[in-house]
Amino acid sequence: MTKFIAVLALTVLLAGCSFFQKPSNNWTKASGTEDQTASDLSACRQQADAVIKRDADIDRDIGSARPPSSVDTDTQAFLSNVDNYDREQRFRRITSECMRQRGYVLPEKSPLPLPLP
């Protein structure tokens, strides 16, 4: 029972973090139009989706070669939630990097931190 409560608490915590850190779509570029920005953002999101799908396929292939796990249901649910959170964060990082490579910037108060050069 204690394990279940711990898993539930961590799941709620992770969900809360993602609730308050919605990705920003306010990318700006000095010479960019709104249509061009939308098109570039869509292309970057497609790129991020492709990378994440490729990696998930690789992970699934690796997992299928391993013997079945004896992890309990609560732990499996927790690990699934952590994986989903990691995927979402990775999607945001890949999309952000793609947009920066195209010359876009986010406003200073963006929830997505930009690495220093």
pLDDT tens, residue by residue, 102-116:
999 987 654 555 555
The partner residues of 105 in beta bridges, in order of sequence, read 28
72 phi/psi in degrees, rounded to 5: -70, 165
pLDDT tens, residue by residue, 26-52:
898 888 788 999 999 999 999 999 999
Q: Which two tokens stand for residue 92?
A: 């945001």
Give residue 96's pLDDT band: very low, low, confident or very high (50, 70, 90). very high
What value does the mean pLDDT of the chain take?
A: 78
